[in-house]
Structure 1
Amino acid sequence: MPEPLEDVLGRRPVLGSRLAFEGRVWDVRTDEVDLGEGGVVVRDYVEHTGAVAILALDEQDRAVVIQQYRHPVGALGWEIPAGLLDVDGEAPHLTAARELHEEADLTAGSWSTLVDHWASPGGSSEGVRVFLARDLAEVPEAERHARTGEELGMPVRRVPLDELVEGVLAGRLHGPTLVIAVLAAEALRARGWAGLRPADAPWPARSPGRRRRV
């Protein structure tokens, strides 16, 4: 029987690298990469901090979703709470807990790793870890995060997981992390949630972050 498929991590030799663009959230880097018999190629890519996202399910298997305007695609998209891994030394599951608090006014008593993915591996180093959060509780009014900017007035809803699955398959929902999280949750729920990993499970495919140097 063949071995299960697994991505093989290992960067090919980089002969030269420069910071082509430095942005507020991510950078663009240009590398000369030695592919061996394939020759030397030049690759431009987004150098990203990485991110976490949270599929928060209540006792009725309703998922917490938020709606945000995403300018590159010109749309108000439904997503799950998420945030950048931009605090040095903060464990990913603690970043996730903070983002759930800030974006959905919720805490969770149970955390698991649901699924890991690369956002766009052909053009970005961004790795995303999606957590499953259960045993939800409302944050007291006085302790809630004051939302500003693109988060001001952000709609927050609880939608049955089954309804989200149908929305994904019907082509009504497009956010990649929501799509991946919802379908992963549906598959694991059918298995009685067997296969969930701990919240602090190893994450070898995590983004290496921004190097911030020429």
Structure 2
Amino acid sequence: MADPASETFADRPESWPVLGSEDLHRDSWVVALRSDLMTRPNADGEAPFRRLVLEHPGAAVVLAIDEEDRVLCLAQYRHPAQHRLVELPAGVCDHPGRTRCRSRNASSRRRRRCRPRSGHRSSPPTARPATPASGSTTSWRAA
């Protein structure tokens, strides 16, 4: 057996056996909810279990810092919280057929997110990390 300490600690593709899926909610809106009946790999004889999967196309968030080290934040009403929350500019990657929040033109997507909501323009980014919000609650697939 390989020494776990010698392995690189990083996200990696993995898929567990799915015996069936049932849509619990799906319409033309941006998210869908489904129930998957699944088993663990190589777990012969174990009972299948259910996992709820919230499918979401992904989102882009912007951390905009100006020359004076101020961070651009917006106040947006969020109905589930019953509050107007202070947030970083963000938005859904809702382009048809896109399975990941990365595009060749991430810079113009970032500009589109900032300008209408804040009136600010952005400059080229210094870093563009891409990661799923939560592998346990979202459907995210690498391109």
- TM-score with structure 1 length normalisation? 0.52
Q: Name 2:11's counterpart in structure 1.
A: 7
**2:32 matches 1:27:** yes
5+ unaligned residues in a row in structure 2: which ranges?
none
State the 1:27 CA deviation.
Answer: 0.6
Q: Give the alignment of 1:15-54 within 5 angstroms.
A: 15-23=19-27, 24-36=29-41, 37=43, 39-54=47-62
Q: Indicate the structure whose relative CO is greater, using CA pairs within 8 Å and at least 6 residues apart.
A: 1
Equivalent pair of 1:83/1:95 in contact (CA under 8 Å):
no
User: How many Å apart are 1:85 and its aligned residue?
Assistant: 0.5
Query: Secondary structure of 2:126's match?
Result: strand
Say if 2:34 and 2:53, in contact at 8 Å, map to a contact too: yes
Structure whose residues are more often helix by fraction: 1
| Alpha-carbon displacement from aligned partner over 1:78-123 (angstroms, at most 9, x marks no partner) | 1100010002358271332211122122222212335444333322
Q: What residue in structure 1 maps to residue 125 of structure 2?
A: 111
Identical aligned residues as a percent: 27
Deviations 1:115-148 (A, max 9, x none): 44433332233xxxxxxxxxxxxxxxxxxxxxxx
Gaps of 5+ in 1: 126-206, 210-214
Count of matched residue positions in the alignment of Structure 1 and Structure 2 = 128
Which residues of 2 match residues 1-214 of structure 1 at below 5 A? 2-23=6-27, 24-36=29-41, 37=43, 39-88=47-96, 91=103, 93=106, 94-125=108-139, 207-208=140-141
Checking the alignment, whether the CA contact within 8 Å between 1:85 and 1:95 is kept in structure 2 is no
Give the root-mean-square deviation of aligned CA atoms. Answer: 2.5
Whole-angstrom CA distance in 1 between matches of 2:131 and 2:73? 19
- Where 1:111 maps in the other structure, the secondary structure is coil
Q: What TM-score results when the alignment is normalised by the length of structure 2?
A: 0.75
Aligned letter for 2:18? Answer: V
**Which has the larger strand fraction?**
1
1:112 partner SS: coil
Cα deviation for residue 3 of structure 1 reads 4.0
Contact 1:14-1:31 at 8 Å conserved across structures? yes
Confirm or deny: 8 A CA contact 1:49 1:208 kept in the other structure. Answer: no
